[in-house]
């Protein structure tokens, strides 16, 4: 995730330096919040070391949002019982933006970096407050446990004939999830099919290009190699390490499904149908 904020083609040395700068900014932000009586409770019971640790373990579960999301104060992602007041959150967010500006991060990086940092800190707060662990340890991550997690979230999920987790309802658009334990990877996938094989690939390409220009957080692609005709699809891969934070995975799934639904809605001539039609 940090690589995407820094630069998609940055090398490991540059990324390591960028990560160090991010940690320095978090340290400055941490101390700045702790000095303000009205908002210091936002970090109650949290150490800098725990924030750094969780960022390394869970950072890949933060999803970049469309540019318009960052134009105002971002949304709180902590459970309701842990959320601060809107005014307090605005003060916290403004403090972080100011720290990032003073530490000379690029203007285009700052909103995304602030969102990334806040979401990681909010998950750290939530994990500390959880009565029961809200994570899956790496050895517990499988299609079966992910399927059970979706079903407990009031979605409908099942293992399909390809041994993938299919989620037809409960989210904005039907999608699949696949666990690759060898690569420590969770993959989301969604497809929309042409109403007939005669639909021109260029029409679906236009939808893909429009969606990518508007969304920017998930890549929409077109597969023209099938007998169905051109298929609009998207794949999103998340690397996990020692654990999978359930809240963040569900949030990423929601954002993926919503983004694909938005992409399909750009099909004003109704060339596409969903996987369920």
Residue spans per domain, the chain: 2-129, 136-274
User: What letter would DSSP give residue 66?
Assistant: P
Instruction: Return contacts of 207-216, CB within 8 angstroms, 24+ apart.
Output: 207/232, 207/263, 207/264, 207/266, 207/267, 207/271, 207/272, 208/232, 208/263, 210/266, 211/262, 211/263, 211/266, 214/66, 214/262, 214/266, 215/66, 215/259, 215/262, 215/263, 216/64, 216/66, 216/67
**pTM check: above 0.75:** yes
136-274 topology per CATH? Yope Regulator; Chain: A, (3.30.1460)
H or E stretch including 249?
Answer: helix 246-265
Q: Report whether 189 contacts 233 (CB < 8 A).
A: yes
CA dist., res. 48 & res. 43, Å (int): 9
**Nearest-CA neighbor of 66 among 199, 204, 220, 177?**
220
277 residues of the chain, pLDDT tens digit each: 777 787 654 444 578 888 899 999 999 999 999 999 999 999 999 999 999 999 999 999 999 888 888 888 899 999 999 999 999 999 999 999 999 999 999 999 999 999 999 999 999 999 999 988 899 999 999 999 999 999 999 899 999 999 999 999 999 999 999 999 999 999 999 999 999 999 999 999 999 999 999 987 899 999 999 888 999 999 999 999 999 999 999 999 999 999 999 999 999 999 999 877 5
Instruction: Name 247's Cβ contacts closer than 8 Å, sequence gap at least 6.
Output: 77, 79, 123, 126, 134
> How far apart are the two ends of the chain, measured CA to CA in Å?
34
């Amino acid at each position: 995730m940090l690589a995407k904020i820094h630069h998609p083609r940055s090398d490991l040395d540059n990324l390591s330096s960028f990560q160090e700068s991010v940690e320095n900014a978090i340290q400055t932000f941490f101390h700045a919040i702790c000095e303000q009586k009205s908002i210091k409770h936002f970090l109650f019971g949290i150490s800098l070391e725990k924030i750094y640790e969780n960022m390394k373990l869970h950072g890949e579960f933060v999803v970049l949002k469309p540019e318009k999301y960052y134009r105002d104060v971002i949304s709180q992602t902590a459970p309701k019982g842990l959320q601060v007041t809107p005014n307090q959150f605005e003060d916290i967010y403004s403090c972080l933006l100011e720290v990032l500006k003073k530490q000379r991060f690029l203007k285009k990086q700052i909103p995304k970096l602030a969102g990334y940092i806040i979401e990681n800190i909010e998950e750290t707060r939530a994990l500390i407050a959880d009565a029961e662990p809200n994570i899956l340890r790496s050895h517990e991550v499988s299609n079966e446990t992910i399927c059970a997690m979706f079903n407990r979230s009031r979605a409908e999920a099942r293992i399909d004939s390809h041994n993938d987790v299919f989620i037809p309802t409960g989210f904005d658009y039907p999608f699949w999830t696949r666990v690759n334990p060898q690569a420590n990877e969770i993959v989301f996938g969604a497809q929309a099919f042409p109403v007939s094989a005669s639909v021109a690939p260029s029409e679906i390409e236009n939808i893909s290009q429009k969606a990518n220009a508007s969304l920017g957080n998930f890549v929409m692609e077109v597969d023209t190699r099938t007998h169905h005709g051109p298929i609009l699809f998207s794949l999103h891969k998340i690397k996990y390490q020692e654990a999978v934070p359930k809240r963040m995975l569900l949030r990423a799934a929601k954002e993926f499904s919503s983004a694909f639904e938005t992409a399909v809605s750009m099909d004003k001539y109704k060339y596409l149908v969903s996987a369920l039609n």
